A and B are shown apart, each in its own frame.
Chain A
Amino acid sequence: MKGTPYDFFVQWHLTERCNLRCRHCYQSGAVSEMSCEEICRAIDNVKSAFESWVTEYEMEMSPSFHFTGGEPFLRQDLFAILDYVRKCGFSTSLMSNGTLIDGDMARRIREAGVSDVQISLDGLEATHDSLRGKGSFQRTLAGIRNLVSQGVEANINLTVSRINMGQTGELVRLAEELGVGAIAFSRLVPTGRGKGLSSETLTREEVAHFYGELQGFKDNSKVVVTSRDPLAAIADMEGEIPQTEMPISGCAAGIFGVTITADGTIMPCRRMDLPVGNIKETSFRELWVESPVLGSLRRREDYHGGCESCRYWAVCRGCRAIALALARAKGAEDYLGPDPQCPYCAST
């Protein structure tokens, strides 16, 4: 045992093409796509960095690749890419709208050894269809059922806004009926097309109320009810919060994960439209150390507006994508300021 595992993920947007046009999507336009060969070379690039971290620093790593889009099933070489990653020894998962997963596709996903598929579901039928298009709710549910019947772990992810925050109880019951592993909730980031829903983002009072309510469902549901939002995780923490130089958990951007877009652009997070390099041209190992943006996300002293002095900094830092999106709405290019929806931050 070398130490606590470094859970590192690469979220890879293989395509920006999508069969839906969701109103809250973070996309703002189409880009060219890397070929399968370019993707495999880029995977080698990342793999080389992981190998160096393990051998030279004795890091115990559990890296994973999360493939998404756009809609990843629109890439005809998706299974070839999954096969390559699996042969490299990494865990794979998929994030999809579920509408293209028929019985045969679900079988292929199982055979490809994908650890889990995260399906986006944004409310009950009328709400979901108003955000994602008429008929998409039933097609998404069919996709989930196909995965479950093939024994593939399916999880639901919901983007929370004022539009759907009152439907949690019914959605948790629906998740139980569908037999998914978990239902997770993430806050709406008003970026890309999602800017059009800025007025539907939650206030800090609504965030506090929503995660408080979620806590009740966690204790009384047959399905795992969770959130990857650092603000939700704080409520679950036990004991003293360690005061460390480097973050321990919380927002993964630049610390525990990275995003690669369809054209190879590397970003700290897909919802932070902040390019730091391109995987086709850069050594991932060097970029991880050298990038000023990634470096600043790891340094407490670079934060301001309250986050830097918060006792939860090492385990939270709010959502950097929301901080950036709301700063941009005011004309500032600031990803290190306060998360304006944080109920724990007194100074904003």
Chain B
Amino acid sequence: MIGEFILSLTLDVSDYVTNLLHFPTEIGCNLDKLLCDGRMRPQAGDILFWKEVRAMSEELREKETRLFQSLKEALEKSKSLGKSCLA
């Protein structure tokens, strides 16, 4: 019980410090402003990172193609079911 309390307190303090470092003005901060201020990496840069730096191998791409082909076929067949099936 005491251990849990101390852990919870540690997380609270850690969260406070994290927020303080990233968002000095706190709650509801405007991310656009942070991006402009250079305090945050631009979104476009991140997408570029994931798309280009980590280019997929041919083997993985083939596996992905098969996965989405099967998925599309399955989704197409789901049309024959009652609507609630997809709920």
Q: A: which residues have CB within 8 A of B? A: 3-7, 15-17, 29-30, 32-33, 35-37, 40-41, 44-45, 47-49, 51-53, 57, 59, 74-77, 79-80, 83-84, 87-88, 108, 226, 228, 233, 236-242, 244-249, 283-286, 288-290, 298, 314-315
Contact = CB atoms under 8 A, between A and B. Distances in A.
Contacts of A237: 81-82, 84-85
- For the complex of A and B, 6 pairs with smallest distance between CB atoms: A238-B82, A236-B84, A44-B46, A4-B75, A242-B77, A246-B74
Contact of A233 (B12, B60, B75, B84): B84
B82 A236 contact: yes
A40 B75 contact: no
23 contacts: A16-B11, A29-B7, A33-B15, A36-B18, A44-B43, A48-B50, A49-B50, A59-B71, A75-B15, A77-B19, A80-B30, A83-B30, A236-B85, A242-B74, A242-B77, A242-B80, A245-B74, A246-B71, A246-B73, A248-B74, A249-B78, A289-B60, A315-B85
A246 to B, nearest CB: 4
Highest count of chain A CB atoms <10 Å: which of B11, B56, B73: B11
A285 B19 contact: no
A243 to B, nearest CB: 9
Contacts of B84: 233, 236-237
A122 B6 CA distance: 28
Q: Which of A35, A80, A87, A285 has the most CB of B within 10 A?
A: A80
Contacts of A83: 30-31
Contacts of B14: 32-33
Contacts of A79: 27-28
Nearest to B75: A4
A34 to B, nearest CB: 9
Interface in B54-87: 54, 56, 60, 63-65, 67-82, 84-87
Interface in B1-44: 7-8, 11-12, 14-15, 18-19, 21-23, 26-31, 40-41, 43
B11 to A, nearest CB: 6
Contacts, number: 156
B51 A248 contact: no
Nearest to A70: B11
B23 A285 contact: no
Nearest to A227: B87
A83 B40 CA distance: 15
A241 B63 CA distance: 27
Given A44-B46, A244-B74, 10 more contacts: A33-B14, A87-B31, A236-B87, A242-B78, A245-B74, A246-B71, A248-B74, A249-B86, A290-B60, A298-B67
B75 A6 contact: yes
Contacts of A5: 75
Contacts of A80: 23, 28-31
B8 A17 contact: yes
A237 B31 CA distance: 45
B81 A248 contact: yes
Nearest to A33: B15
A289 B64 contact: yes
Contacts of B81: 237-239, 241-242, 248-249, 315
B11 A17 contact: yes
Nearest to B67: A289
Q: Which of A76, A87, A88 has most chain B Cβ within 10 Å?
A: A76
A239 B82 contact: yes
A286 B23 contact: no
Contacts of A108: 28
B64 to A, nearest CB: 5
A41 B22 CA distance: 14
